[in-house]
Amino acid sequence: MSKPKVVVTRKWPSEVEAQLKDLYDVQLNESDIPMSSDELKLALQSADAILPTVTDVLSSDILNVENKRARIIGNFGVGYNHIDINTAKLQGLVVTNTPHVLTDCTADIAMLLLLMSARRASEGERLILQKQWIGWKPTQLIGQKVTGKTLGLIGFGRIAQAMARKAHHGFGMRIIFYSPSQPAQGIMDELQATRYETVEDVLTEANFVSLHCPGGEATRHLINEQRLKLMRPSAHLINTARGDVVDSKALIKALKEGWIAGAGLDVFEGEPNIDPGFFELDNVSLLPHLGSATEETRVAMGNRVLANLAAFFAGEEPGDRVV
């Protein structure tokens, strides 16, 4: 029996690609150049499975391509708002993701950005790299203390809870959060966390606000000009969720006019195209979507996709099916 044909849209860790070669008739992306819409359509027509990443927009137009052969979309990542889920459902396509395995590393990046923003680390590094540092002085780059402050989380899923553990147990931070649903009491007790009724309540009280909600139309520009004005002038905003959760223009204005003290961003609206207004600011720390970028996590994500594919082609239910 011939092996199922699989198309991988971007370059993956070598050990995962080696397993794909053993198990499937696989088309890899050695150049790592993102596939065009026409290339994605061809992949859906020529392969039994397509394995996209967050950089691959699988719109209704692409998923509705005629003479489709693909039966499963094995997404490399937790978020899947780049896939038109309603169309996938109508087309009878199975969609899977890779939850759980990137929780800690993404929470690490959120904590890193919080510390970078609070202590003005990006400004300090630029000062040295630009050879402008002339030595220590008592008033240089005064930032915000982190230990003992209040961390507000918008969303309280696995990554938010992991960040809360690091912040509470490591830095003695008080944890408050907004979540549409009530989490397990045991988790709240462990973190001494308090659930607030609205996003606004969290924004008003927190010293640091970290975003952990899914992307998509329901949360697009959740953090807008009106809500940014609710935050303290000494507060910092951290985003490792999805870029479109924050109105970039409003955030740039808030940082420029001092509504808040700083921001740390790992994700951006329309990435990799970043609003040039951010480059004019000193009080923002920018990272190139590094949330899950550790060797252990990226391999684990690939292995999760492999497990979902194996189940599907064996006629079983994939463990991480979202559609």
- Pull the structure tokens for residue 83: 């896939």
Q: Are strands 5-8 and 25-27 parallel, antiparallel or unpaired?
A: parallel
Do the beta carbons of residue 120 and residue 140 sit within 8 Å? no
Beta carbons within 8 Å of 181's beta carbon, 6+ residues apart: none
- Pull the structure tokens for residue 7: 């198309």
Residues forming the active site: 242, 271, 289
**Whole-number Å distance between alpha carbons of 211 and 230:** 15
Do the beta carbons of residue 35 and residue 43 sit within 8 Å? yes
Distances (CA, A) of 20 to 170, 201, 295: 40, 48, 18
- Pull the structure tokens for residue 10: 């971007």
Q: Could you tell me how many residues make up the chain?
A: 323
**Whole-number Å distance between alpha carbons of 318 and 96:** 7
Burial class (CB in 10 A: 0-12, 13-18, 19+), 135: exposed
Closest CA to 305 of 17, 40, 71: 17
**Whole-number Å distance between alpha carbons of 295 and 273:** 25
CB atoms within 10 A of CB 1: 3
- Pull the structure tokens for residue 290: 């590094």
Q: Which amino acid is at 54?
A: V
